[in-house]
Structure 1
């Protein structure tokens, strides 16, 4: 039985819950460590890298749920572990104020728990959607749950910001505990009863394969392997600019902190519009026209690449360049391609004659998360290296943006090549949902 839109939106509450907790750990606690405690910025960067480092376990989490036949316990347990990790991280930040080394030692297991919780819950949430969302709805469903996640990020950022003033370690811990409690409640509302109705039946019963054998069989599938490589390349390009966009605006365009923050908001606004466009094309507008998933993916990658190359060019002509529309266009393309790619992941994860959605989605999710972590590091490292090699900030940042744009163009080519089967195979699209 496929999910109704109400059930899809209920599952979106889980994605919202994940975003609510994550924003406290990656934004709020990051700022406290660097500003209030005057610790090196590399410290939160290394702690977040621990979270990304756990994401190679996503296929294990998916395989475990595949073997057990139920995803609800993994989702609820994952959010509970995530909340516990966040509260331990908040406690660790408080300890850092009095004993830095002890606080850091406490933060390490906290961020490992954060990564494990996100991996377990996020992988099996998407696998549940993949197994039960009707064919053709995947991109729209992906848009809906990601929009809800962005709402959770924004709402938590605003509310927590109000509750945290004036800052104190006890207040940070209390706010984190409150947010974690609300997130767990939303998760329960989102998943309870969703697996009571039978899932669409697969032709064959699942074989009892060990994880290594199942993973090897999966990687031998040319379609899965090709799509995983595409996901890594596209998500690497997506995140390369994340940490250098606002410094670029300050160094090259002379923007103040407030102005560069607004520019970052322009990127998020564009991404939201792109996601809504994909959602509408799969719902309200679908009776008049339907845009295939591959068009959103390839078009989004091409437009993202063009926008980044334009940004590189614009930095060399900062006095007259319309940077705000450029950034909005980049966000628009990023948002449309990202949620369409999520929809394609769900479509490909549900294929096959056995219920292997978990390990497939785990593989795609691991590629995405590792690419995000690598993108954050490589983007900042490349900007620092180029700034040390040239006196022109515009040229230094521009070279990174141009390279990022090139990776997006490569990702677009990979996406187009996924639609071509070898001659001996049946003629069918590798990107599902068309």
Structure 2
């Protein structure tokens, strides 16, 4: 099996109907699905975690549209490679050929000059650009290119999707289907995959070979034993990068500065981009600390700005200070939970009307319709506060922000109770 094409590549979908997951963007009612059916897709950025089908989706779109397909990896390609493909695309256009698709994997790793070299080709319609990224395009893609691309967010595959992939591989793969593999427990395989289909199939191939060799069914214990013994195989293709950043974030969230600084050192030794680390700290400062210690966000933001000015090796000191501070800080995810709840409410209730007294009234007609009529200006009342309703009537009284159980947010909780009485009684 070692000389064969990896299982993950063998199981790459051959047509759009075989594609697993991401129904929110390619389901039959989704915008991208209709664009594919109409043979007119925009330049786009596919943003999502590893192993959720970004490359497969790009390949399938090119196949579905019958377009020439060029592919570059941002890790290996330079401006010269980009220009060579643009020259090929221009020749195709001169011969009235179909507009090619240019797929760039890990486009966030391209420098500004490399991204600039793509602009002209996209603007002139020489290529349809499809960029794949695991990083937020707002941070990693230049604004001129970002404005010319539609961003589609891909999500982790569900448990059902992952189990379905395993079953499909066992029954349809040209090699595995004849091995009669018996899976008694799925938990370990799914947990090790982390929602990553590529990692899932790598682990499945590894343990399937071992199961045949040892004449054993696949159980959780068997999976863990085989993966530990073959860690080099399991971590191929740079997947350990994502495991280390996960361990790093979880160590800070778990308030263990010793572990956090260790994982920081591992990333430094691996040549990680300091701005990537600093950006993760910036997110964590709000997601995991929030109003329990507002200074955390200020320090993380200062750290982010500093490392982008200084770079290696001195940035390690600034990162170390920020990491140990955040890891040692009191924690709260109340703000994170609040926005999650609020977005869920919006999704469930739709576009509820803004109460009349809160509406803007820039015209005479709007004033005659009582827009803003009963609004109470808070600064005109004692303590700059007056009780009034700020939510749509349909969800009045809902609790979205529940301050965390820590000294700083307990003060916020008490202040809200004093102002709102029963409304914020918690």
Alignment TM-score, normalising by the size of structure 2: 0.24
- Structure with the bigger RCO (C-alpha within 8 Å, sep 6+) is 1
Structure 1 or 2: larger strand share? 2
The structure number with the bigger radius of gyration is 2
Structure 1 or 2: larger helix share? 1
Alignment TM-score, normalising by the size of structure 1: 0.23
